[in-house]
Structure 1
Amino acid sequence: MRTERLGRSSVQVTALGFGAAGIGNLYRAMDDDTADRAVDAAWQAGIRFFDTAPHYGLGLSERRLGAALAKRPRDEFTVSTKVGRLLAPAPETAHLSDEAGFHVPADHTRRWDFSADGVRRSLESSLERLRLDRVDVVLIHDPDEHWRSAVDEAYPALHELRDQGVVGAIGVGMNQWQMLERFVTETDVDTVLLAGRYTLLDQSAAPSLLPRCRDRGVSVLAAGVFNSGVLATDDPGRMYDYRQIPEAVHGRATRIAEVCRSHGVALPQAALAFTARHPAVASLVVGAQTAAQITRNVELAGVPVPDALWADLAAEGLVRR
């Protein structure tokens, strides 16, 4: 599988990355064996980039990913994790379920912390859960309401860790593009993880953020290419950006699917190809919960899509020209 370097760092990522939120029991529970088989399928398909976070399943994603990768040569894969949320034990709520969309006991609470000390503590805990002595990429996670502390405290701490060689590349991961553009413009990040803002249904990052990334030599890790599921199946689903899809958006997705079908292209195939074709995008970080989903996504990503499809979609105003 093709690999690309992140920004000016030496860190390499494969064209497809494994998004590990799913193995943190996102939306539904799974057992450890199913999670392990999903990571194995990604490895067998040539994926060597794995993205996780403490937020995903209150550390469950990191623990499962670490267990699955423990049998692999450390120099043959790239791992990214995130900082910004510290996990604090909460035995008093362990009998309840997590309220952040993950089917896990609420035996920890998430506490926002973008301080330099919080960054180091978060990374130390992540290394323990991942069973690793280093991670390759560290991303500031969802600093939407915490710009000042993220840029004044978390970013300098990561910059220092990168200078010391403790991590290979640093960046920011968000579901919006506006603040990512500020980081790209005002800091020296290597990469941004952009979730859901450059897809077949939402190209809001295209006019400004993506060109700025190109100008500044910042690599884009594109996540959420299926917009939470609506683009993941041949017939558009009903989940869009973590909630029920508005009818107008579903109608647009349905028309996109019809145009794709006229070219012999499956909707998820087009979703993968559309995002991947942008020159700013280094890797598609695609989530999956089963080995079958991983295998299918890799197969779809390997099938060429005719240029005429993009022309027809643009002619109908369904994607930006």
Structure 2
Amino acid sequence: MGKLFKDKLGFGTAPLGNMFRNIPEEEVMATLNTAWEQGIRYFDTAPFYGAGLAETRLGRMLANHHRDEYVLSTKIGRVISDELEDPITRDLGEKGGLFEFGNKNKMIVDYSADGTLRSIEQSLKRLNTDRLDIVYIHDIAQDFYGDEWLIHFETARKGAFKALTKLKEEGVIKGWGLGVNRVEPIEITLELGEAKPDISLLAGRYTLLDHEKALQRLMPNALKEGMEVVVGGPYSSGILAGGNHFEYQKASPEIIAKVEKIKSLTNRYGISIKAAALQFSLANPAVAAAIPGASKPDRIVEDKAALNEKIPTEFWEEMRKEHLVAEDAPLA
């Protein structure tokens, strides 16, 4: 699967679903075009991002390029209805309100085999393409569904897992896996051994601010089972890139204090905190790519520069000494 990615830097389109703000169309297109100009050829999206808005916007940009030039992934788990509702009150679990400026379409949770195929069919139309490379099963985790997440997981195990495995075997898609913000669903999938995910997207759980659990448990199993990992949210919702969000909410004083400690070291060594965050996430041998999100063109340029920035070994040694990274974490 790693051969799919020409570069370890991809682009996550969640912000383009109008996450947190109403983003003008021209700004969206400028951001996507800049990503292409910067050589990014892996684009990840999902119906959840603005109830189809991010997919539609991405599809408009990709229509200008030959399908064989890029790798495309989207997600299943939510089927978009023609019925409308208020996005502010739309029931989206703990992450409700993320896309209050997105489309008003109602989203129906559905991890069944039929729902999987319907979601893919809808995504293909919004993306204006004839095929997907990777399909992730989206958000079957406690952060979205509370204690009922295992019910959705079981539905996906009996439905989406089998449907996507069949599509892979038929050559319709090149790979599938989970797209989640928690390590547990991926771990359980690997432990069950009933299905063989090729690649999974883990958002926010392998970053400078949160990596212990994934490092100790998930990454070794992923390597053992031959499942590659794409790191989503390497900047922890923006707090590691100059923003003030962590875990999609305003960062706590404790998180802000930890970020300030990291910044003091990056400043001392004359490097950007973005470079430290991005290169840390990519250093683990199980990680095939990282997909920061962005809604402004200059952020894309910063990401590309962060990927190529030279970080002194001494910096990482001091990060270990200050207990800002795990003792056994692979470092860039």
TM-score when normalising by structure 2: 0.89
AA at the equivalent of 1:221: V
Partner in structure 1 of residue 113 of structure 2: 116
Secondary structure of the residue aligned to 1:14 is coil
Q: Distance in 2 between matches of 1:100 and 1:56?
A: 11
The whole-number CA distance in structure 2 between the counterparts of 1:210 and 1:318 is 19
1:95-110 to 2 correspondences below 5 Å? 100-104=97-101, 107-110=104-107
Q: Which amino acid aligns with 1:205?
A: A
> For 2:102 and 2:236, how far apart are their aligned partners in 1?
26
Matched with 1:251 is 257
Does structure 1 conserve the Cα–Cα contact (< 8 Å) formed by 2:44 and 2:74? yes
Confirm or deny: 8 A CA contact 2:12 2:44 kept in the other structure: yes
1:31: Cα distance to partner? Answer: 2.1
Deviation at residue 103 of structure 1 after TM alignment? 4.2
Letter in 2 for 1:131: N
The alpha carbon displacement at 1:229 in A equals 1.1
- The residue number in structure 2 matching 1:137 is 134
Once the two structures are TM-superposed, the CA of residue 11 in structure 1 deviates from its matched residue by 3.4
Distance in 1 separating the partners of 2:311 and 2:38: 20
2:232 paired with 1:232 = no
Query: Which letter maps to 1:38?
Result: T
Number of aligned residues? 310
1:231 is paired with a residue of what secondary structure?
helix
Give me the whole-angstrom Cα distance separating, in 2, the residues matched to 1:268 and 1:106.
31
Distance, in Å, in 1 between the alignment partners of 2:292 and 2:103 is 26
**What one-letter code is carried by the residue in structure 1 that aligns with 2:81?**
A
- Paired position in structure 1 for 2:230: 221
Q: Please tell me whether residue 160 in structure 1 is matched to residue 166 in structure 2.
A: yes
Residue 35 in structure 1 maps to residue 28 in structure 2 = yes
The change in CA–CA distance for 1:105 and 1:69 in structure 2 (over 3 A counts) is: closer
1:21: which partner in 2? Answer: 14
Alpha-carbon deviation of 1:46?
0.8
One-letter amino acid of the counterpart of residue 224, structure 1: G
- Which whole-Å CA distance do the structure 1 matches of 2:132 and 2:208 have between them? 32
Determine the C-alpha separation between the residues in 2 that align with 1:96 and 1:221: 30
SS in 1 for 2:172: coil
Q: Which runs of no fewer than 5 residues in structure 1 stay unpaired?
A: none
| CA deviation vs aligned residue, 1:153-210 (integer Å, no higher than 9, x gap) | 1101000011111111111010001211122332200111010111111113111101
> 1:64 Cα shift?
0.4
Instruction: Let me know the Cα RMSD of the aligned residues.
Output: 1.6
Equivalent of residue 281 in structure 1, options 280, 287, 292: 287
List aligned pairs for 1:1-321, cutoff 5 A.
Answer: 5-6=1-2, 11-12=4-5, 14-91=7-84, 93=85, 100-104=97-101, 107-144=104-141, 145=149, 146-185=152-191, 186=193, 187-203=195-211, 204-233=213-242, 237-321=243-327
**Distance of 2:197 and 2:45 partners within structure 1:** 19
SS in structure 2 at match of 1:201 = coil
Distance change >3 Å, CA 271–CA 166, structure 1 → 2: same
User: Match of 2:74, SS?
Assistant: strand
Give the distance between the partners of 1:291 and 1:62, measured in 2 at CA.
Answer: 18
Q: Whole-Å Cα distance in 2 between the matches of residues 80 and 184 of structure 1?
A: 21
TM-score scaled by structure 1? Answer: 0.92
Residue 213 of structure 1 aligns to a residue whose secondary structure is helix
How many Å separate the matches in 2 of 1:95 and 1:42?
A: 28
Aligned to 2:215, the other structure's residue is in SS state coil
Is the 8 Å Cα contact of residues 225 and 286 (structure 1) preserved in structure 2? yes
Larger helix percent? 2
